[in-house]
């Protein structure tokens, strides 16, 4: 079993909103790959279950459940569920000001 998430979705959404980010939940089946995405704003992600890789700038990031990763605006990135089960992760985009 994965680690327990230390905060609820509502708590995380409130925290991220203070930092200028939205908050949504994404669920990927084993083997799912999202290739070569780019956004014009910063993206924040937090894995809560499973094993997910985020690759940008030639570096593979594999955050543990509960760790936050920022994908800077304009970075082409790929996301992979490399685990044997479902991957659940929160994501958000920085609001344009």
Give CA separation, 21 vs 15, 73, 84, in Å: 9, 13, 30
- The count of other CB atoms within 10 Å of the CB of residue 2 is 16
pLDDT of residue 76: 97
Prediction pTM value: 0.89
Domains of the chain: 9-93 (2.60.120.10)
Does the pLDDT of residue 1 top 60, yes or no?
no
What tens digit of pLDDT does each residue of 7-63 get?
A: 789 999 999 999 999 999 999 999 999 999 999 999 999 999 999 999 999 999 999
Does the pLDDT of residue 3 top 60, yes or no?
no
Cβ–Cβ under 8 Å, residues 63 and 91: no
């Amino acid at each position: 079993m994965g680690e327990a998430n230390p905060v609820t979705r509502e708590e995380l959404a409130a925290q991220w909103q203070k930092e200028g980010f939205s908050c949504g939940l994404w669920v990927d089946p084993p083997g799912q790959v999202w290739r070569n995405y780019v956004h014009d704003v910063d993206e924040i992600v937090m894995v809560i279950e499973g094993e997910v890789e985020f690759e940008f700038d030639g570096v593979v990031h594999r955050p543990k459940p509960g760790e936050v990763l920022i994908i800077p605006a304009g970075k082409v990135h790929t996301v992979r569920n490399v685990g044997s089960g479902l991957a659940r992760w929160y994501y958000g985009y920085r609001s344009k000001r």
